[in-house]
Amino acid sequence: MDVRLLLESTLPGLGYELVDLEMTPGGGFRVFIDKPGGITVEDCVSVSNHLTRLFMVENVDYERLEVSSPGLDRPLKKEADFVRFKGQLCKVRTRMPVEQQKKFTGRIAGFAEGNLELEVDGRVVVIPFANIDKARLEPEF
């Protein structure tokens, strides 16, 4: 069974979004969840208890399960993430250089036709979504 698909079909029914799933050394899972208004410790406990029972029913073999919020530097994985966080500051690393560089820090100006529009130092850099290796929100205090 594909654990990611199982989580993507289960978590929305509980009112949560699957932000990321990581495999941990030793055969465990680290699940990052989010919801409007943020995640509390009680949310993590509730989801952990539900997933423990779900994994038992679905015969998912694992050593350890961790459920967490994505944090202030939340990863941006889906096109919808860039739409949702328009106006926010983020860091982006590309697979191939764009304008002779691979690392950018700027504000999300928009997302259209499969391209991220990132405002960097007063100019807009267009980065194809397929070229994004890693992207995270950059916390502002």
Domain end call among 21, 36, 68: 68
Task: Judge contact between 81 and 95, C-beta under 8 A.
Answer: no
Residue 47 falls within a domain, yes or no?
yes
Q: Which residue has the tokens 């096109």?
A: 79
Phi, psi of 97 (to 5 degrees): -60, 145
What pLDDT was estimated at residue 1? Answer: 65
- The per-residue pLDDT string of the chain (141 residues; one tens digit each, 9 = 90 and over) reads 699 999 999 999 999 999 999 999 888 999 999 998 999 999 999 999 999 999 999 999 999 999 999 999 999 999 999 999 999 999 999 999 999 999 999 999 999 999 999 999 999 999 999 999 999 999 998
What pLDDT was estimated at residue 141? Answer: 87
CATH of the domain at 25: 3.30.300.20
Q: What is the DSSP letter of 35?
A: -
What pLDDT was estimated at residue 90? Answer: 97
> Based on the structure, what is the number of domains in the chain?
2
Q: Are residues 56 and 97 in the same domain?
A: no
Domain that holds residue 84: 79-137
Q: Which tokens belong to 133?
A: 């290796």
Beta-bridge partners for 21: 31
